Structure 1
């Protein structure tokens, strides 16, 4: 079976408006897309576009409040528990409507070290809640570690933390989202880690390091990583989540080389 590849249309195909990016991805050979935060457009608009392009949506994020504007987000702040639950409700509507495989919960930042343990405890309670809510829809809940160079203060930033959270929650509908870009930026040994982590991983994303552009622009061992995932017969989705160094179509050389089954 081929690896399952999708394009993150929050970063790729920004040459066109969000709703047109499904069409652009389809024209470039992708059969699936992931969307970080689809909520600025209506579900009906996305569904119409999804139907016309016959494209899958494996992943969306749960709304994250003020996280992308530099705030702490929703998922780990004790005082925002009710806001997080409303965000899960919104996400569930889109997840069901778009028939997604996974929803990603961003832990957010903790801007006061004295509150870190409280934030971590709230995050685990919220993950457990989200995993419960999504299970009835047949949707997996995932969470990811994000590097602290790009997001200083991010609560979860290592594989060790991620594995500990999985062990502590021990929920059948919860898995790790592994972003090779973020873990490479944190000097995690990606090639050594992946084989032992695959049973805990629900979704993988990639970008080259250190500048988060397309594969081939930095020092990421992309050939070896893709070869390993093929060898281990990884069955989850792999999301291209990078900032193209040129227009998106000109950045897709890696696709022709490493995913010839998808390249148009």
Structure 2
């Protein structure tokens, strides 16, 4: 049986973030994840988790302007000091909230002539992150993102993620495998997860195309969920989709999974 988390940055957006914990619990989730929790204090989040008996599985290191069309934070050479500040902020939240996993978003390079420099910076910063989070018994993950939604994203395939894992060779560093993004890039998520499950620290999903809930696109989620369940992967599976309609009406997959 798979263990699902509700991504509160995309689900239950009918209410403010502080009220989404209750909504997730009422919908049947026992765990949540948040892309960027920093609009709330760690204390406020901890109170909501305790009140509704929820576990916070994952959140991201701050990514600066990435979601507004910028290059982000972790790969930009001129932002190394800012990245270190973001790591300090993440540690402060992590000590209070005790997530299992923290995600470092690579970011994008909008000047292709600097791509190698950006990749080198990202690997340096990723190594810094995993050394910072390991003493807290937290896995560090990083993810590939499709270049249709985010042109210029510097990591866009499972193969690239595997190569970075090999290069950094740290026992507490894993991939975050996003089924939607990799399906958009033409990969076969079921086969990849079956082969590389032990190198995956977190899985997220949305249907493709459109990034809606299961049943709104072309992915056969019965097969996908079965592939995850029969693989060596033992982590959480995050519902990180944009509901078509009300969130509560998008959860038929949860009842049948």
TM bracket, shorter-chain basis: over 0.9
Q: How does 1:127-142 map to 2 (within 5 A)?
A: 127-142=126-141
Distance in 2 of aligned mates of 1:176 and 1:231: 19
Aligned length: 257
State the match for 1:186 in structure 2: 185
Structure 1 residue ranges (4+ consecutive) displaced by more than 3 angstroms after TM superposition: none
8 Å contact from structure 1 (residues 3, 234) kept in 2: no
String of CA shifts for 1:101-157, please: whole Å, max 9, x gaps. 010000001000110000000100100000000001111100000000110100100
String of CA shifts for 1:167-215, please: whole Å, max 9, x gaps. 0111111100000000000001212211111011000000000000000
Q: How does 1:172-183 map to 2 (within 5 A)?
A: 172-183=171-182
State the match for 2:213 in structure 1: 214
State the match for 1:243 in structure 2: 242
String of CA shifts for 1:73-97, please: whole Å, max 9, x gaps. 1100111111001101111111221
8 Å contact from structure 2 (residues 155, 161) kept in 1: yes
SS state of the match for residue 242, structure 2?
coil
State the match for 1:261 in structure 2: none
Q: CA deviation at 1:229?
A: 1.4
Question: Is 1:91 aligned to residue 90 of structure 2?
Answer: yes
SS state of the match for residue 136, structure 2?
coil
8 Å contact from structure 2 (residues 193, 231) kept in 1: no
Question: Is 1:55 aligned to residue 54 of structure 2?
Answer: yes
Give the TM-score of the pair, scaled to structure 1: 0.96
Q: CA deviation at 1:257?
A: 1.0
Distance in 1 of aligned mates of 2:105 and 2:82: 14
State the match for 1:262 in structure 2: none
SS state of the match for residue 177, structure 1?
strand
Q: How does 1:1-264 map to 2 (within 5 A)?
A: 2-232=1-231, 234-258=233-257
Distance in 2 of aligned mates of 1:224 and 1:125: 37
In the alignment, structure 1 segments of 5+ residues that lack a partner are 259-264
Q: CA deviation at 1:232?
A: 2.1
Distance in 2 of aligned mates of 1:152 and 1:233: 32
8 Å contact from structure 2 (residues 198, 232) kept in 1: no
CA RMSD in angstroms comes to 0.8
